[in-house]
Amino acid sequence: MEIRYLYRRTTDGWGGHPILPGPPMSCTTTDPLVAALFAIECRNYGHAVILAARRDRFEDLIGPANQFDMIESAVNLLISPVDLAQGAVILEVDRVIDVLREIGFDQVPIRIGNKWALREALISSYEAGERLTTEQLRQFNSRIFEDKA
């Protein structure tokens, strides 16, 4: 499967956790459903958005894997969230949810109350096989970027 975009959820203007040790890092995912679930939980802290970054622009910044690779389809980038945002398209969460529902993910919640509920949503959706197929990813990108071109 060709992964054209990496997705990151965030609240608008958030620069990342200020006290994390080590080099700057942005946790992204190859799956828009995962990014949407994270973004829905981010709504608890402000205006949540999803960043969509072309993978080929950041290929040389891919960092080491972690324990979230499988469940979150995670790809860690060795770049700060602010720098990633500068090279990404900003997507509104509600638009992403609408497109996910159009392509068959009709159970996407509109609210996730806390980090524990987010963890449960990620695990249960993974165990249910709810990750985008190659065809669904193509449909998602076609629909979500049709008005961004």
CA dist list (Å): 102 to 38, 70, 105:
19, 25, 7
Calculate the CA dihedral of residues 77, 137, 104, 90 and round it to 10 degrees: 50
- pTM for this one? 0.89
Predicted confidence at residue 3, as pLDDT, reads: 72
Predicted confidence at residue 12, as pLDDT, reads: 61
Backbone angles phi, psi at 128, to 5 degrees: -85, 0
Predicted confidence at residue 79, as pLDDT, reads: 94
Predicted confidence at residue 147, as pLDDT, reads: 57
Q: Give the mean pLDDT per block of 10 residues along the chain (149 residues).
A: 83 56 82 97 94 95 88 94 93 97 94 96 96 95 78
Predicted confidence at residue 71, as pLDDT, reads: 94
How far is 11 from 42, CA to CA, in rounded Å?
Answer: 6
Predicted confidence at residue 21, as pLDDT, reads: 59
